[in-house]
Amino acid sequence: MRNDDNLVKMANHIAHYFDSEPDRQLAVQGLRQHLHSFWTPAMLKQLDEKAQGEAAQRLDPLVVRALQV
């Protein structure tokens, strides 16, 4: 598995944790906070590039929204 594939998988896994949050805005904020607290800037950059490219279809919509905020 390529590193960027692993990033997509990890981001989706974290997004699924926030599925139980009924307030979608809070879920987006929580996911965004988690990514910025625990992921390196390089990881965030790679994930953002993936969200702009071919991996966008594989990313949970919550991840895409969290990257756009």
CB atoms within 10 A of CB 10: 15
Q: How do the domains of the chain map onto residue ranges?
A: 3-68
CA distance 25 to 23: 6
What digits encode the pLDDT tens for the residues 39-48? 999 999 999 9
Tracing tokens 């960027």 back to the chain, one arrives at 4
Is residue 64 within 8 Å of residue 55, measured between CB atoms? no
What digits encode the pLDDT tens for the residues 19-40? 999 999 999 999 999 999 999 9
pTM of the model: 0.88
